[in-house]
Amino acid sequence: MRLTTHSEYALLALLYLSRNAAKGELISLSRITEEQKLPFKYMEHIMHTMLRAGLVTSSKGQKGGYKLAKKPGQITVAQVIRLFDGPLAPVDSVSVHFYKPTVIEKEKKLTKLMKEIRDYISSKLEKTTLKDLA
């Protein structure tokens, strides 16, 4: 697993929403990007991806913006990273959600090592929610 700016920016935006969501209030993207100093146009894509994935909901127009689609305790770091950066596993051949064959598969002990790493990462990221981080 290697994080790109997609996941990093997404997590920052989600944490901002988690903290500043006074009961269902919508927060505009410009507010998020100004306070966190993130590129607005780039963030539009990221928010859109999270919208389609059901992590946030949105409304257009004045007073429009975004809010979390679920409680912070129900959104895991794993969901976010899988959405933007794909597999948590170090190689595709040991990935549960994104399996693809690779050359190291015939090396049983090396594969086992990679699976142990995959298991550690996914259990850690699946049990950590926005609530834990905010």
Partner DNA sequence: TTCTTATCCTACTAATATAATAGGAAAAGG
Partner DNA sequence: CCTTTTCCTATTATATTAGTAGGATAAGAA
The residue ranges that bind a copy of itself (CB under 8 A) are 1-3, 5, 8-9, 11-12, 15, 36, 38, 77, 90-91, 102-104, 107, 109-110, 113-114, 116-117, 120-121, 124-125, 128, 132-133
Of the CA atoms within 13 Å of residue 46, those in its CB half-sphere come to: 24
DSSP 55: S
10 vs 75 by CB, closer to DNA: 10
Distance, in Å, from the CA atom of 109 to the CA atom of 94, rounded to the nearest integer, reads 12
**88 neighbors 118 (Cβ within 8 angstroms):** yes
Q: Which listed range, 39-47, 67-75, 111-119, 126-134, lies at the site for DNA (CB under 7 A)?
A: 39-47
* Site size with DNA, rule: CB under 7 A: 26
| CB of 51 vs DNA, minimal distance in Å | 5
Give the DSSP letter string of 79-118: HHHHHHH--SSSSGGG-SSS----GGGG-HHHHHHHHHHH
Footprint on this chain of DNA (rule: CB under 7 A): 2, 4-6, 28-30, 39-42, 44-45, 47-48, 51, 58-66, 85
